[in-house]
């Protein structure tokens, strides 16, 4: 699996279309002390910007931000591997997760273990990569993650809720 990492400049925070023939999977995590939980939002869009699938999920207890962001990428890799999607650009808004994913450094922490398992998943993808982009370009995944904290079970969206569609449309203008 070819790996690349790209960093957005501060002035370029808009969502970018996937290259033709590819999918873009934006991933984000949300954290709620009030609900003692972590939410994960995953949004897969095609090269026209149309949403193909989306998923939200949550778990307790509340975890460290680095761990939650890394778990978001793990769950996205796991899900899209299960449904055999390929040609996917996985986009996270955690520079720490992206950098660790692309690093060869050993890390024996919980975070490091999650990164190691993510790398094992990449063998199931023949033409995918992991990239970094700022959260402002990842608003749909962030909205899904915020809603996920309130939901007791994972939700897969084949039709995106209107509130999220509005975010998508506004970001594409």
Q: What is the pLDDT of residues 98-133, one digit of tens each?
A: 999 999 999 999 999 999 999 988 888 888 999 998
**pTM of the predicted model as reported, rounded to 2 decimal places:** 0.83
Residue 145 pLDDT class (50, 70, 90 cuts): very high
Write down the pLDDT at residue 161: 64
Sign of dihedral through CA atoms 134, 138, 139, 145? negative
Q: Is residue 78 part of a domain?
A: yes
- Judge whether 127 and 95 are in contact, CB under 8 Å: no
Q: Is residue 9 part of a domain?
A: no
Is the model's pLDDT at 157 over the cut of 70? yes
Separation between Cα atoms, residue 50 and residue 45, nearest integer Å: 5
Domain CATH code at residue 91: 3.30.420.10
Q: Is residue 54 part of a domain?
A: yes
Q: Is residue 102 part of a domain?
A: yes
- Judge whether 40 and 145 are in contact, CB under 8 Å: yes
* Sheet of 23-32, strands arranged across: 129-132, 88-92, 23-32, 37-45, 51-59, 155-157
Backbone angles phi, psi at 53, to 5 degrees: -155, 160
Half-sphere exposure of 115 (CA within 13 A, CB side): 21
Question: Domain of 106?
Answer: 23-168
Q: Is residue 111 part of a domain?
A: yes
Number of domains in the chain: 1
Q: Is residue 92 part of a domain?
A: yes
Task: Tell me the mean pLDDT in the region 57-74.
Answer: 95
Q: Token pair of 110, please?
A: 């919980």
Residue 5 pLDDT class (50, 70, 90 cuts): very low
Q: Is residue 10 part of a domain?
A: no
Q: Is residue 75 part of a domain?
A: yes
């Amino acid at each position: 699996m070819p790996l690349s990492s790209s960093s957005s400049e501060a002035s370029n925070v808009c969502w970018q279309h996937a290259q033709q023939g590819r999918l873009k999977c934006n991933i984000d995590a949300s954290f709620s002390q009030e609900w003692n939980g972590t939410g994960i939002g995953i949004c897969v869009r095609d090269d026209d910007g149309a949403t193909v699938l989306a998923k939200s999920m949550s778990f307790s207890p509340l975890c460290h931000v680095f761990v939650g962001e890394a778990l978001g990428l793990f769950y996205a890799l796991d899900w899209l591997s299960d449904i055999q999607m390929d040609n996917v650009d996985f986009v996270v808004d955690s520079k720490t997760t992206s950098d660790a994913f692309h690093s060869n450094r050993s890390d024996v922490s919980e975070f490091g273990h999650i990164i190691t398992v993510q790398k094992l998943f990449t063998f199931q993808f023949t033409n995918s990569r992991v990239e970094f982009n700022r959260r402002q370009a990842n608003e749909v995944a962030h909205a899904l993650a915020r809603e996920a904290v309130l939901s007791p079970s994972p939700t897969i969206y084949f039709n995106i809720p209107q509130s999220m569609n509005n975010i998508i449309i506004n970001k594409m203008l």
